[in-house]
Amino acid sequence: MGEFELIRQYFAAASCAQAGEGVALGIGDDCALLELPAGEQLAVSTDTLVAEVHFPESADPFLLAQRGLGVSVSDLAAMGATPIGFTLALTLPRAEPTWLQAFACGLDRMAQACAVRLIGGDTSRGPLSLTLTVFGRVPCGRALTRSGARVGDLLCVGGELGDGAGALPLVLGQRQAPAAIAEPLLARYWSPQPQLALGQALRGKATAALDISDGLLADCGHIAAASGVALLIEQARLPLSTALLALLGTSGACDCALSGGDDYLLAFTLPPEHLADLQAQGWPIHVIGRAEAGAGVQLLDQRGQRITPQARGYQHFGSDGD
Amino acid sequence: MGEFELIRQYFAAASCAQAGEGVALGIGDDCALLELPAGEQLAVSTDTLVAEVHFPESADPFLLAQRGLGVSVSDLAAMGATPIGFTLALTLPRAEPTWLQAFACGLDRMAQACAVRLIGGDTSRGPLSLTLTVFGRVPCGRALTRSGARVGDLLCVGGELGDGAGALPLVLGQRQAPAAIAEPLLARYWSPQPQLALGQALRGKATAALDISDGLLADCGHIAAASGVALLIEQARLPLSTALLALLGTSGACDCALSGGDDYLLAFTLPPEHLADLQAQGWPIHVIGRAEAGAGVQLLDQRGQRITPQARGYQHFGSDGD
């Protein structure tokens, strides 16, 4: 048995590969088998992370696995889906037990947090990269897509923006900060928490949704284009964390919030009549603008002037990694 | 818009991304949405191919895409599933239009041959590799697994064995052969045809099945272990192609058939009472042995002697690529 066969068995034994609703057959055959309740659809998303493009090759394997799975499951949250399982295609130059054990632990941590189960995958020798494919279920016709925003809807986000991008210089060791500032930002970067419950609560209420990965401006551009509306963002209403403001000041924090990526919070459009009920239920919903007739994204700056921003297309860790 | 965003749009426009049963939402949102008919399960499999591990970096992109998708869909055939869709996570060092166009054409060719649709994916910059995740549907409880073989079942394969492994020296340019020999072998290597119809015909009849990817001995070992039986292979009954025999002679051809991988034909166990009907229907079924009480794989060699072969664990293109 080759060392890579051993790796497969190692993952198969991890607790994230045990039991789980909706999984009729897990790891070990030619295919896994998933079951869907009647009246539900399967949501599927695939993401690849490549060393030295999306993360430093020296990244802590626990944090890398945790972040990788969190980022992928965030796509399920953006559709209002309930997670079922995921596959992991892991390519690595060599099998190092310490690295693998930490990676499997990080995967397990996030899998348990998201109630999602490892159902299969592949392990190859080669340059370090991981491809995660996640599966969820959503009632037929109730998935949140990008295309339903209507003029008059409120533009909302699910939390404080920009922390992931603000953390990047800390991640790369290009900058230092006191623990009270660095820790919350690094936690947002390395342990993104997919807003699964919020996504599910928005089904039948939000008219369009996605998770912010490329930066607020770029991602709002996707909703605007798919829905055929313009989106106006009011800069003064951007929710910003104390830590980000302390690190970068108001202007730098706003830049991160608008053009930084790696937030993995939901952005969505909401007919105004649903706002009060959802906020009364305690959901973290921040109104940051509205949908108007037109196209593209506009920004109402701090002085109350409308400008058409250049979405700079956040490049995450490397350049044009996509 | 970055060049990698353009690549995504290129694939999204390919005909394999158009229309298709069971796909409620395709490329372009946070997730794709699949639908399953009532009473069916979803079969899922993931495979990664890494340059210089599973294929030469200089491989023809049309052939690479065709082969990659064929190999992945073969896992659906092994479960008796009907293909629905697939995702492609493509990592490549740079965006070369000629390479990409040929790759997309090869993908399209195999997608059409298998009636499977591109539903999503990811494109990254990095060392060349592809991860394909395929989706199919199968009636609940009718999937062919590896674990149901019973003592007395016949051991069968779906065609002539060893051609893929026999082609490898030709693929690598280590050996030359006349066109009449090289062409059929290279076709088997570069254009594996998943035995989807055979897999579906075997539902409710075969007791265990898989597709031969690691070599007959190794893969029969998987069925034997999962089912708790021994499998006896009669060497004299191995179906071998004229081209393979012409290239390697009987002994070399047998070696390829037993220990070579890359066949992507079905191997399965069949209660004897089903054989005549299936053969009368024209299915290419070759009986090569039987299931016995015990464990592991035994070989009845040309002289009628039982030996316990060492499954050499075929290494495909590189070493321990898995």
Q: Give the C-alpha separation, B74 to B41, whole Å.
A: 17
The class (CATH top level) of A154-307 is: alpha beta
Task: Please determine, for residue B320, whether its predicted confidence score (pLDDT) is greater than 60.
Answer: no
Q: What is the mean pLDDT of chain A?
A: 91
Q: Where does B3-139 sit in CATH, by number?
A: 3.30.1330.10
| pLDDT (0 to 100) of residue A316 | 52
Chain A contact set for B119 (CB, 8 A): 44
Of A38, A75, A91, the CB nearest to B48: A91
What band does A9 get if pLDDT is binned at 50, 70 and 90? confident
Whether the CB-CB separation of B296 and B221 falls below 8 Å is answered with yes
Handedness of CA B272, B274, B275, B276 (dihedral sign): positive
Which residues in chain B have Cβ-Cβ distances shorter than 8 Å to A265? none
* C-alpha gyration radius of chain A: 20
CA atoms within 13 A on the CB side of A7: 27
- Residue B129 near residue A128, CB atoms below 8 Å: no
Q: What number is the average pLDDT over the span A123-134?
A: 96
Q: In Å, how far are A25, A65, B126, B273 from A49, measured between CA atoms?
A: 27, 10, 10, 50
* DSSP SS3 for B140: coil
Mutate to test the interface with A, among B21, B31, B74, B210 (most CBs of A within 10 A): B31
CA distance A29 to chain B (A): 6
CB contact under 8 Å between A53 and B313, yes or no, is no
Whether residue A126 is predicted with pLDDT greater than 60 in this model: the reply is yes
Are A122 and B136 inside 8 Å of each other by CB?
A: no
* The pLDDT of residue B17: 67
Segment A214-259, tens digit of pLDDT:
899 999 999 999 999 999 999 999 999 999 999 999 999 999 999 9
Looking at residue A21, its pLDDT comes to 79
Task: Find chain B residues with C-beta within 8 A of A89's C-beta.
Answer: 46-48, 89, 131
Contacts of A2 in chain B (CB under 8 A): 313, 320, 322
What's the residue count for chain B?
322
Q: What are the structural domain ranges in chain B?
A: 3-139, 154-307
Best mutation target, B131, B134, B198, B268, to test chain A (most A CBs within 10 A): B131
For A160-176, the pLDDT digits (tens) are: 999 999 999 999 889 99
Encoded tokens for A117:
């189960």
The ipTM estimated for the assembled molecules is 0.89
Is-contact B271 B205, C-beta < 8 A?
yes
Lowest mean pLDDT among A296-310, B122-136, B276-290: A296-310
* pLDDT for the residue B4: 67
Q: CA of A284, closest CA in chain B: separation in Å?
A: 21
* Residue A111 neighbours by CB under 8 Å, 6+ apart: A16, A69, A86, A117, A118
In Å, how far is A193's CA from the nearest CA of chain B?
16
Q: Which one has a higher pLDDT value, A155 or B25?
A: A155
> What share of chain B has pLDDT > 90, as a percent?
79
Chain A contacts of B87, Cβ < 8 Å? 44, 46, 133
Decide if pLDDT at A35 tops 50: yes
How distant is the Cα of B37 from the closest Cα of chain A, in angstroms? 9
The predicted pLDDT at position A320 comes to 47
Record: contact B322-A33, CB cut-off 8 A = no
Mean pLDDT computed over A285-310: 92
Taking the C-alpha atoms of residue B206 and residue B201, their distance in angstroms, rounded to an integer, is 9
User: Using a CB-CB distance cutoff of 8 angstroms, which residues of chain B are in contact with residue A43?
Assistant: 31-33
- Contact at CB, B53 and A125, closer than 8 angstroms: yes
Q: Report pLDDT digits (tens) over B86-111.
A: 999 999 999 888 999 999 999 999 99
Per the CB < 8 Å rule, is A33 touching B79?
yes
pLDDT score for A259: 93
The mean of the pLDDT values for chain B is 91
Give the chain A residue nearest B22 (alpha carbons): A41
How many H-runs (helices) and E-runs (strands) does chain B carry?
Answer: 9, 13
3-class secondary-structure state, position A294: coil
Taking residues B126-150, report their average pLDDT. 96
pTM to 2 decimal places: 0.91
CB atoms closer than 10 angstroms to residue B21: 12
Q: Which of A46, A51, A320 sits opposite B121 (nearest CB)?
A: A46
Chain B positions in Cβ-Cβ contact with residue A92 (cut-off 8 Å): none
| Angle (CA) B204 B286 B213, round 5° | 80
For residue A306, the cross-strand partners are A300
The partner residue sitting opposite B87, judged by closest CB among A32, A119, A133, is A133
Task: Give the H or E element holding residue B224.
Answer: helix B216-227
Mean pLDDT score, B60-73: 96
Nearest CA in chain A to B88: A46
pLDDT, residue A304, reads: 86
Shortest CA gap B105–chain A (Å): 22
Q: Answer yes or no: do A44 and B35 touch at CB < 8 A.
A: no
pLDDT in tens, A57-97: 999 999 999 999 999 999 999 999 999 999 999 999 998 88
Residue of A nearest to B138 (CA): A33
CB contact under 8 A, B44 and A320: no
The pLDDT of residue A27: 86
Percent of chain A whose predicted confidence (pLDDT) is above 70: 93
Q: How far is A248 from chain B (nearest CA, A)?
A: 28
For residue B109, give how far its alpha carbon lies from the nearest alpha carbon of chain A (Å): 22
Question: pLDDT-based confidence at B302, cuts 50/70/90?
Answer: confident
pLDDT in tens, B45-54: 999 999 999 9
